[in-house]
Amino acid sequence: MSQDPEHPALEGLRGRLREEEAAYAEVLDAVDRLSGFPVPAEAAPEVRERLLRLNELWPAPERPAGGGPGGALRRRAWDAVSPAIEQQAAFNAVLVQLLNGYLAQADGLHARLRDLASALVRYAQRVQPLVDARARLATTLATTRSELVLEAFDRRLESLGRRLEGLLALRDRLEAVSEEVRGSLAAGAPPPALAAVASRAAEDSAYTALENRLRGSREGIRERLRASAERFEGGPVVHLGCRGGELLQALGERGIAARGVAGHADVVRECRELGLDVVEGDVVDFLRAQAAGSLGGVFAAQVAKHLSPVRLVALLAEAHRALRPGGLLLLETVNPRSVTGYLEVYGRDLVHERPLHPDALLFLAGAAGFTDARVEMGTPVSAESQLRPVPAEGLPQPAADALNENVARLNALLYGHLEYALVARR
């Protein structure tokens, strides 16, 4: 059976593939070279030997003994110079401690840089078979069918090009960091990149600790979120801002596939240590990356109030697009109609964007396309914490009724439900 003449686009595709393969090979070689750079501990082993010698030499000499004919003269000389010697000894001690701590941190950073470069090489080696398979497939396409496949290939090539650009940028960054480390070690100053990483880690850790303190006990959260998990009928379910991963655990117990996304590295690390599928990233970008109609549910607790109006509208729109028909969106947030909720819950978090009135969130859900949406109140304030009714004894009945009606209104305003949930189906 004869084949149609080769489509002109195939020839252009082959040329582009050759160019991309050459560029890929260049990137792989560059990253491979980067992964083999010698760390300072290997390139200059005498640094460690000098540090050991410095540790031996820094202690100050002891005061001379008083025996012998020259003892008194030696003691007086010692008393005259001992303040300077003690100051120099203190300076030496601080310097030695600083060098020991800095070199220990530098060794850890070098090891991580080498691991990262090795991981990049392994990933690039996984991508290479895909590129080769695409080239072989392209050569077998017939004219009519190839026109359809070529469009898909073009999109895939653009995606691969963006990945390669990212690898190149990362390679350049790694080389720059490596040069910073080498230069800083030579000059005796901490590398700026190391200081930036330490600052980001400190910020993440501090905010995560604050969030954990405000959330309450893990057991209490697990019990509350287990009830939320029972609302979802099928997966996959996405938990935006998954924090401790309690909902993911509850969904796993019910056999429902679930994945979490969090914006803090500490949260991601803790969840992964529990064996949960959690990625670090932006919640709106994560939803935007999901295929249309691919999700069975979207859950977020205390996330909406962190978003600006524009990003909140985007989150609702992307959730509606990503959910399949019948899929459930469940958003829990603080109830600003309760004074206690506003002051004691909303006001304690440092990064809240704005309070969300239930009517406003319900309207935005409808504008995003959710036709089956409602608001449910949750977390009531205990009766012991509310204003108590006025006893009717000794008061005219109309006066007692009026007072108790005002007490009820004040309780609803001051001690209303602390939270509410938007429950919407696609």
Give CA–CA dist 134/24, Å, rounded.
Answer: 14
Residues 251, 227 contacting (CB under 8 angstroms): no
Residues 332, 420 contacting (CB under 8 angstroms): yes
- Which has the closest alpha carbon to 44: 165, 175, 162, 185? 185
The full length of the chain comes to 426
For residues 157 and 352, the model is more confident at 157
pLDDT of 151 higher than 80: no
- Which is it for strands 237-240 and 295-301: parallel, antiparallel or unpaired? parallel
Give CA–CA dist 146/135, Å, rounded.
Answer: 13
Q: For position 24, what pLDDT does the model report? A: 75
Q: For position 340, what pLDDT does the model report? A: 72
Locate the domains of the chain by residue range.
8-61+69-190, 210-425
Give CA–CA dist 421/307, Å, rounded.
Answer: 16
For residues 190 and 103, the model is more confident at 103
Give CA–CA dist 163/182, Å, rounded.
Answer: 28
pLDDT digits (tens, 9 = 90+) for 316-361: 999 999 999 999 999 998 888 877 766 666 556 655 567 788 898 9
What is the H or E stretch that residue 240 is in? strand 237-240
pLDDT digits (tens, 9 = 90+) for 27-84: 777 777 766 666 666 666 777 777 777 777 666 666 666 565 666 777 777 677 777 7
Q: For position 203, what pLDDT does the model report? A: 47
Give CA–CA dist 16/154, Å, rounded.
Answer: 10
Which of 26-30, 185-189, 322-326, 386-390 reaches the highest mean pLDDT? 322-326
Beta bridge partners of 299: 239, 330
For residues 367 and 36, the model is more confident at 367
- What is the DSSP secondary-structure string of 135-204? HHHHHT--HHHHHHHHHHHHHHHHHHHHHHHHHHHHHHHHHHHHHHHHHHHHHT---HHHHHHHHHHHHH
- Which has the closest alpha carbon to 149: 240, 299, 13, 344? 13
State the pLDDT confidence band at 194, using cuts at 50, 70 and 90: very low
For residues 266 and 58, the model is more confident at 266
Give CA–CA dist 295/88, Å, rounded.
Answer: 67
Tokens of 246: 């309690």
59-63, 181-185, 322-326, 362-366: segment of lowest average pLDDT:
59-63
Q: For position 42, what pLDDT does the model report? A: 66
* Dihedral Cα 197, 203, 209, 214, nearest 10 deg: -150
pLDDT digits (tens, 9 = 90+) for 78-107: 677 777 777 777 777 777 777 777 777 777
Beta bridge partners of 256: none
Of the chain, the percentage scoring pLDDT greater than 90 comes to 18
Residues 353, 305 contacting (CB under 8 angstroms): yes
Q: For position 204, what pLDDT does the model report? A: 47
What angle in degrees, to the nearest 10, is found between the helix axes of 8-35 and 71-139? 160
On average, the pLDDT of the chain sits at 75
DSSP state of 323: E
C-alpha to C-alpha distances, 328 to 119, 153, 215, 230, 286, nearest whole angstrom: 38, 35, 24, 12, 17
Q: For position 47, what pLDDT does the model report? A: 72
Cβ-in-10-Å burial (0-12, 13-18, 19+) of 94 comes to exposed
Q: For position 61, what pLDDT does the model report? A: 65
Beta bridge partners of 378: 419
Domain spanning 210-425: which CATH class is it, in words?
A: alpha beta
- Which is it for strands 278-280 and 258-262: parallel, antiparallel or unpaired? parallel
- Rounded mean pLDDT, 191-215: 48
Tokens of 275: 């064996």
Q: For position 202, what pLDDT does the model report? A: 43
pLDDT digits (tens, 9 = 90+) for 222-264: 778 888 888 998 889 999 988 888 889 999 998 999 999 998 8
For residues 211 and 13, the model is more confident at 13
C-alpha to C-alpha distances, 367 to 294, 335, 361, 406, nearest whole angstrom: 21, 21, 10, 37
